[in-house]
Structure 1
Amino acid sequence: MNDVRDMDTGSGLTLQERESMLNVDQKRIFNHVKAHLLRQIQYENKSKQEKEQSESVKPLHMFISGVGGTGKSFHIEAIKALVKSLWSTLTKHTCAVCAPTGLAAYNVGGVTAHRLFQLPIEHDGQCASYWSIPKASHKVMKTELQDLKMVIIDEVSMVSSLNLTYIHLRMNDLFESDEWFGGKNVLFVSDILQLPPVCGQPVFDKVTASTLKYRLGSMGAVNIWHDTVTYDELTIN
Structure 2
Amino acid sequence: MEEAAAYHMPYRLRRLFATLLVYFPPINPPALWNKFEQAMSEDYNRTSTLPPEQIRLEVLHQISNFLDSMGKDINSFSLVSTTLRFRDRYTNTRDTLSELNIQVSEADLLAIAQLNAEQKTAFHHIMDAIFVKQKGCFFIDGPGGTGKTFLYKALLAEIRSKGYIALATASCGVATSILPGGRTAHSCFKIPIDMNPANMCKVSKQSASANLIRQAKLILWDEAPMTHRHGIEGVDKLLRDLMDSTELFGGKVIVFGGDFRQVLPVVTKGIITDFIEASIISSYIWPQLTKLHLNQNMRAIANPQFTAYLLRIGNATEPLIDDTNIRVPDHLLIPYTNEDESINILINSVFSDLTAFTDENFSLINRAILTTKNEFVDELKHPYTELSWTST
TM-score w.r.t. length of structure 2: 0.44
What is the deviation of 1:223?
2.0
Structural mapping, 1:109-124, within 5 Å: 109=180, 110-122=182-194
The offset of 1:11, in angstroms, is 4.2
Aligned equivalents of 1:185, 1:154: Cα separation in 2? 14
Unaligned runs of 5+ in 2: 1-68, 71-94, 298-392
Match of 2:285 in 1: 225
Query: What is the Cα deviation at residue 106 of structure 1?
Result: 1.5
Amino acid at match of 2:138: M
The equivalent of 2:168 in structure 1 is 97
> Residue in 2 aligned with 1:107?
178
Q: 1:165 aligns with which of 233, 245, 256?
A: 233
User: How far, CA to CA, are the matches of 2:138 and 2:132 in structure 1?
Assistant: 16
After TM superposition, give the deviation of residue 113 of structure 1 in Å.
0.8
Preserved contact between residue 130 and residue 218 of structure 2 (Cα < 8 Å): no
Residue 100 of structure 1 and its aligned partner are, at CA, apart by 1.1
Within 5 Å, give how 1:112-151 maps onto structure 2.
112-122=184-194, 127-131=195-199, 133=202, 135=204, 138-151=206-219
For residue 171 of structure 1, report the CA deviation from its aligned partner.
Answer: 1.4
Deviations 1:95-135 (A, max 9, x none): 1111111111212231111110011212xxxx423326264
Q: C-alpha displacement at 1:206, in angstroms? A: 5.3
| Cα distance change of structure 1 residues 197 and 96 upon mapping to structure 2, 3 Å threshold | farther
**Relative contact order higher in (CA < 8 Å, ≥ 6 apart):** 1
Q: 1:64 to 1:75 in 2, by over 3 A?
A: same
What letter corresponds to residue 108 of structure 1 in structure 2? L
Q: For 1:1-237, what aligned pairs fall within 5 Å after superposition? A: 1=69, 6=99, 11-13=105-107, 15=109, 17-40=110-133, 59-86=135-162, 88=163, 90=164, 94-109=165-180, 110-122=182-194, 127-131=195-199, 133=202, 135=204, 138-196=206-264, 204-205=276-277, 223-237=283-297
Secondary structure of the corresponding residue to residue 149 of structure 1? strand
Contact 2:138 2:291 in 1 (8 A): yes
- In 2 relative to 1, CA 10–19 (structure 1 residues): closer, same or farther, beyond 3 Å? closer
Question: Could you tell me how far apart the structure 2 residues matched to 1:27 and 1:97 are?
Answer: 19
After superposition, the CA RMSD in angstroms is 3.0
Tell me the matched-pair count: 194
- Higher mean alpha-carbon deviation, 73-82 vs 139-148, is at 139-148
Give the secondary-structure state (helix, strand or coil) at the position aligned to 1:193.
helix
Distance 2:103 2:177 in 1: 10
Cα separation, 2, equivalents of 1:37 and 1:117? 21
Structure 1 203/143 Cα, relative in aligned 2: closer, same or farther at 3 Å? farther
- Give 3-state SS (helix, strand or coil) of 1:205's partner: helix
Structure 1: gaps of 5 or more residues? 41-56, 208-221
Offset of 1:64 from its aligned partner? Answer: 0.7
| Secondary structure at the counterpart of residue 237 of structure 2 | helix
Amino acid at match of 1:34: M
Task: Tell me the equivalent position of 2:337.
Answer: none
Deviation at 1:159, TM superposition (A): 1.4
In 2, the alpha carbon distance for the partners of 1:176 and 1:197 equals 36
- Alpha-carbon distance change, 205 to 150 in structure 1, aligned in 2, over 3 angstroms: same
TM-score (norm 1): 0.70
Larger Rg: 2
1: CA distance, partners of 2:126 / 2:209: 26
Cα 1:134–1:8 change in 2 (3 A) is closer
Report the CA distance between 1:26 and its aligned residue. 0.8
Letter in 2 for 1:66: G
Match of 2:352 in 1: none
SS at match of 1:145: helix
Deviation at 1:151, TM superposition (A): 0.8
Structure with the higher helix share, 1 or 2: 2
Alpha carbons of structure 1 residues 174 and 9: separation in structure 2 relative to 1, 3 Å: same
